[in-house]
Amino acid sequence: MQRDPVAKLLLFGATGDLAKRMLLPSLYGLHADALLPAGLAIVGSARQPLDDAGYRDFARKALDEFLPADRKQEEAITDFLQRLTYQPADLSDEATFQPLADKVGDVSGGLAIFLSTAPFLFEPAVRGLHKVGLAGSTVRIGLEKPLGYDLASSREINDTVAAVFPEDRIFRIDHYLGKETVQNILTLRFGNSFFEPVWNARGIDNVQITIAETVGLEDRAGYYESAGALRDMMTNHILQLLALVAMEPPARYEPSAIRDEKAKVFRSLRLMTAEDVKATTVTGQYIGGAVKGEIVKGYDEELGKESDVETFVAVKAHVDNWRWQGVPFYLRTGKRMTTRRSEIAIQFKPVPHSMFVGRGGLLQPNTLVIRLQPEEYVQLLVMAKEPGLDRDGVRLREVPLNLSLDAEFKGARRRIAYERLLLDLIEGDQTLFVRRDEVEAQWTWTDAIRAGWAANGVRPKSYPAGTWGPSAAIALTERDGVTWQDD
Ligand code: BG6
C-alpha cells in the first residue's frame, strides 16, 4: 500500500467531547511513537473563541485527564502541543471560512480534514470549504457520524459532499473498524483454513452479535433523542461486524476488494415488512435500577421528560444469499445493561448423530466466541469427557479452547481505534472507512424497520437498568430454540 501523507490536519469539533477523549489522545499517541509525518501541523477549530495558546492549554488539560499514566511523557506532550494552532469557526456563517483558509495556509503538501458536526451543518461546511480553496485535489475529508438519520438525509449529505470531494477522497468513519479485534475477524476467517468449510448455512446454526454498554444517556440528550439504539449502534457498528462475519473472501487486502464484499452483504440483508417487524424486532428503554451495584436513574428521568426513544434494540436479521440461507443473525445492543461487552458468537450445527445418548452423555453444539471488548479473546467451545471411570454413564462437558489475544500479544501496544483511523486518514488508506454504497444499503435496511415500527405503533418496553434488556428479547431467540450467549 502506497502511503501518501498530508502535511496538515484540520480538526473541526476540536473542543468537543470526542476531541478531548479520543482525538487529542490519539494524535498524541501517534506523535509520541513518531508515527505522525514529521512536520504535520494540526489546526483545531470550533465555535469557542480561543487563540493558539488557549487551545494548547485546552489540549494539555484533555491529555492530563484522558491519557493513561504510562503514556504521559512531559517532553513528548510539550512537543506535541507545538503542532497545535486554533481558529474559531461557526460553520453556519459563510464569513468564517476565509479566516480559516488563511490560518491553514498553503495546502499543496496535502490537507486532511476531520469533520464531525450536526447533519444540518455538512452542507454549509462543505460549500464554505470549497469556496475558499480547502477542497482541492490535495485535500481529503474524514466524516464522523451521524451522517444523516435515514436514507434520504444520508443521500443528501453524500450528494453534498460528492459535489466537492470525489469518493476516493472521502473517509467515512465507523470507529468500530479501527478496533484491533474487529480487524482480527478478517485474519481469523481468511488467515486460517479450517473455518471456511463450515462457515455457511450447512455448518452454522445461528450468529449472535451483542454490543452491551453500562453507560446511560451521558450528556448527549440532544443527539440521542434523534437517534436511538437502532440508528446509533445497529445501523453502523453492528452491521459492520455482521458484514465482516458474513462476507465472501476478498481477493486482496485493499480498499475496493474489502468494501465490495461488505457492500454485497448489506445489499443482501432481508428488508423487513411491517408484519416481519412485529415478530423479529424488540425495542426497550431502561428504567431505574442498579448497574454494577450502583443505583442509576431511568432514561426518562435522566432526560427530564417522557420519551419513546429506544435505548435497547434486538433484531433477528437474515442475509439472503446462497451462503447464509436460513441462518438467523441475532443482533442486540443496549445502554445500561448488566455489563459492558461487545461479542460475536457463532453457533455451529449439532453433530448429525450422537453416539453418547445411550450412555447418558449430552452434547452441546460448538460455539465460537469472539470477544471484542473489554477483554480480547477468541474461544472455541468444544465437548470433552469429564475424567472418570464412566460406570454411571459418560459425562460430557463443554470446555473452552482459548486464544487470549491480551495474553498472546502482551507486550504489544493496544491502540485506540481513532489512532488507527486518524493515521489512515492522514496517510490516505481507505480500507477501514465506509463507502457510500455501504452506508446507503445500511440505511435502506434500517428505514424498513423504522417504517414497520411506525406502522405498528411500536413503543419500547421497559427494562430495569443493569439487566440484559426486556424479556421479549429473550423470547426472540428462545422461540427458535436458541439462547443468547450471556456468560
Ligand atoms: C458511538 C455511539 O458510536 O459508540 C455511542 O454513538 C456508544 O452511543 C459508542 O457509546 C460505543 O463505542 P465503544 O467503542 O465504547 O464500544
Supply 273's cell numbers: 415488512
pLDDT beyond 80 at 487: no
pLDDT beyond 70 at 108: yes
pLDDT beyond 80 at 479: yes
Give the model's pLDDT for residue 413: 84
Question: Of ligand 1's atoms, which has the minimum distance to the CA of residue 224?
Answer: 8
Domains of the chain: 8-144 (3.40.50.720), 177-414+435-478 (3.30.360.10)
Percent of the chain clearing pLDDT 70 (strictly above)? 100
Angle, in degrees to the nearest 10, between helices 417-427 and 24-32: 70
Q: 232 in ligand 1 pocket by Cβ < 6 Å?
A: yes
Question: Of ligand 1's atoms, which has the minimum distance to the CA of residue 340?
Answer: 16
Q: Which of 62-71, 103-112, 188-197, 408-417 has the lowest mean pLDDT?
A: 408-417
Give the model's pLDDT for residue 119: 82
The pTM of this model reads: 0.97
Catalytic pick among 31, 130, 175, 237: 237
Supply the residue whose CA is at minimum distance from atom 2 of ligand 1: 232
Active site residue 237: yes
Give the model confidence (pLDDT) of 449-465 as tens digits.
999 999 999 999 999 99
Supply the residue whose CA is at minimum distance from atom 15 of ligand 1: 213
Give the model confidence (pLDDT) of 193-210 as tens digits.
999 999 999 999 999 999
Rounded distance between C-alpha atoms, residue 102 and residue 291, angstroms: 50
Question: What average pLDDT does this structure show over 269-293?
Answer: 96
Helix (H, G, I), strand (E, B) or coil at 279: helix
Give the model's pLDDT for residue 118: 84
Give the model confidence (pLDDT) of 308-343 as tens digits.
999 999 999 999 999 999 999 999 999 999 999 999
Q: 343 in ligand 1 pocket by Cβ < 6 Å?
A: no
Alpha-carbon distances, residue 215 vs 49, 52, 104 (angstroms): 31, 34, 38
Give the model's pLDDT for residue 406: 85
Neighbours of 291 (CB within 10 A): 22
Give the model confidence (pLDDT) of 112-161 as tens digits.
999 988 888 999 999 999 999 999 999 999 999 988 999 999 999 999 99
Give the model confidence (pLDDT) of 296-309 as tens digits.
999 999 999 999 99
Distance (Å) from CA 171 to ligand 1 centroid: 19
Give the model confidence (pLDDT) of 94-104 as tens digits.
999 999 999 99
pLDDT beyond 90 at 3: no
Neighbours of 454 (CB within 10 A): 11
User: What's the one-letter identity of residue 484?
Assistant: W
Q: Which of 151-160, 405-414, 427-436 has the lowest mean pLDDT?
A: 405-414
Question: What average pLDDT does this structure show over 31-44?
Answer: 97
pLDDT beyond 90 at 277: yes
pLDDT beyond 80 at 1: no
Q: 174 in ligand 1 pocket by Cβ < 6 Å?
A: no
Give the model's pLDDT for residue 120: 87
Beta-sheet strand order (sheet of 41-46): 84-88, 41-46, 8-12, 111-115, 139-143, 170-172
Summary mean pLDDT of the chain = 96
Supply the residue whose CA is at minimum distance from atom 6 of ligand 1: 232
Give the model's pLDDT for residue 116: 87
Angle, in degrees to the nearest 10, between helices 74-81 and 52-66: 150
- Give the mutation target among 26, 66, 175, 414 for probing the ligand 1 site: most ligand atoms within 8 A of CB: 175
